[in-house]
Amino acid sequence: MAAVRQDVAKLGSGWNKDLLNYALAMQAMDELPIQDRNSWKFLGAMHGFHPQLWRNEHLIKANAPIPTDLTNNTFGNQCQHGSWYFLSWHRAYLYAFESIVAAKVKQLTGDDWALPYWNYLDSSNPKALNLPDAFVAKTLPNGKPNPLRKYPRRNGITAIQASPWLSLAAMEENDFLVGNDGSLGFGGGISDDFVQFEAMTGDLESNPHNTVHGLVGGYMGNALLAGLDPIFWLHHCNIDRLWEAWMNTPGKTMVRDPRWLNGPANRRFIMPVPGDNAPGVTFSGKDTLKGGKYHRTYDDLSIGTGVKPGVQAVARVNMGSPTTQKVQPIGANADVVKVGGAPVQTRIDLEPTATAKGMATMGATATGQEVTRLYLALDSVRGSAPSPLLHVYVNLPPDADPAQHPERQAGSLTLFGLNVASQDDGPHAGGGLGYTIDITDLAQRLTDAGDFDPQHLRVTLVPGEQVSDDEPITIERISVLKRSGVVT
């Protein structure tokens, strides 16, 4: 029976046995050639791989042969983002990685090993945002260079920032997906086929997943390199734990669509197994649920998750079954928005009747009442940077400094993987990514203040890091979505 995954903060300080074994295994695996499916670089390339970038980073030699199974749509560039497969694919990826590392640990030390998780949103731990000590130490206990800090992060980073845009708000969502395309919800937009970066990012992927990737930076901030950083795996282990906690909370509705359970339709996902170049194992979404071959157990599902498994979720009003809810666009801007080195404002023209009705039912809580939530949707976001940061404000006063009006901030988006999703010659054909931001509470505050016009909405986009006149972001359309249901 596989060991239970534990919080890395509870394994012991400094070089505890689990992290020392991780480092030793990682070092040995990183010495293997990329052709070996159990090598560190092969496993990293499964998430994202660009031969020229890897040569530029001196990860592979200029004339070194590239394994065909990394470039022929078998193992390489498999990571699923902006898709309802995001959580299931990464769960199997973690399991395969953990199995290979555990086998290497057993070979090197005779110890059993399980992948720990980094619980960075544990409010009871004052050091939760710190990278574990072993990931920032310069040397191993024997004085040799520490492999857990081999690959670049932000200069000198020892902890991620305590920022207002890092949160567990995603855990308040009750439905894995809502709408015919899954444009809203916890898990990501519907994607029948295999697409590495698809059109609509789910709540959990947007935050904290993308946010932590951006805060750590370096290789973690680039989807084509992220899997090489050893902290990647502890971060994704926590994301997987959050999904497990969410599914174990009454009131949450997990997707059971056969397309998700058995998909993708056009290509099977595949994972390597321990043992040189043994044949891979194919799987689909159902294999990652409880009872499936890629399901794992955690020591705790309450601390730092925002939910209490087994206790009815009450953070957001229950809007009924996702199949009975409706998602309706009620307004959009007129032109493509380009964000460079300065804030840009655009106006959304709203359908006044539908908007007014939505505003009137935003706060409904009584059983049987119609209830509405409002969202900003940013469609076909494109850019060349790997994880640019974009701050979004609603109805700023004229000529106002956004920094002086945090009460008007709808959210902040770390656009992880934007470079990959925007490549014209990539599998996504440069379609970019999509995001939604729940603005219901902000809209309610603006309504109470008399500053929400049912005919117009002003949206201001403020560039953060990796956004400039030389590396702008374009957004094909910004719209307001009205989500309607009945309180149950």
- 121: tokens are 């949103």
pLDDT value of residue 305: 97
Query: Has residue 391 got a pLDDT over 60?
Result: yes
Query: Has residue 277 got a pLDDT over 80?
Result: no
Which of these, 420, 324, 439, 423, lies nearest to 378 by C-alpha position? 439
**What pTM was computed for the model?**
0.97
pLDDT value of residue 427: 57
Q: How high is the mean pLDDT of the chain?
A: 95
- Strand, coil or helix: 215: helix
326-486 folds as Jelly Rolls (2.60.120)
pLDDT tens digits for range 92-105? 999 999 999 999 99
pLDDT mean over 417-429: 81
pLDDT value of residue 64: 87
Determine the distance from the C-alpha atom of residue 163 to the mean position of all C-alpha atoms in its chain, rounded to a whole number.
17
Determine the distance from the C-alpha atom of residue 445 to the mean position of all C-alpha atoms in its chain, rounded to a whole number.
28
Cis check: omega of the bond before 264, within 30 degrees of 0: yes
Q: Lowest mean pLDDT: which of 9-13, 143-147, 307-311?
A: 307-311
pLDDT tens digits for range 341-381? 999 999 999 999 999 999 999 989 899 999 999 999 999 99
Cα separation, 310 vs 178, whole angstroms: 23
pLDDT value of residue 278: 77
Cα separation, 39 vs 54, whole angstroms: 15
Query: Has residue 425 got a pLDDT over 80?
Result: no
Q: 167-179 burial, b if ≥16 CB within 10 A, otherwise e? A: ebbbbbbbbbbbb
DSSP state of 365: -
Count the helices and strands in the chain (H runs, E runs): 11, 11
Q: What is the CATH number of domain 8-288?
A: 1.10.1280.10
Q: Give the Å distances, CA to CA, from 437 to 206, 375, 395.
A: 10, 5, 15
Query: Has residue 428 got a pLDDT over 60?
Result: no
Cα separation, 407 vs 466, whole angstroms: 24
pLDDT tens digits for range 161-179? 987 789 999 999 999 999 8
pLDDT value of residue 18: 98
**Domain residue spans of the chain:** 8-288, 326-486
pLDDT value of residue 314: 61
- 145: tokens are 């260079």
pLDDT value of residue 156: 87
pLDDT value of residue 232: 98
pLDDT tens digits for range 330-339? 999 999 999 9
Q: 5-17 burial, b if ≥16 CB within 10 A, otherwise e? A: bbbbbeeeeebbe
Percent of the chain scoring above 70 in pLDDT: 98
pLDDT tens digits for range 197-216? 988 999 999 999 999 999 99
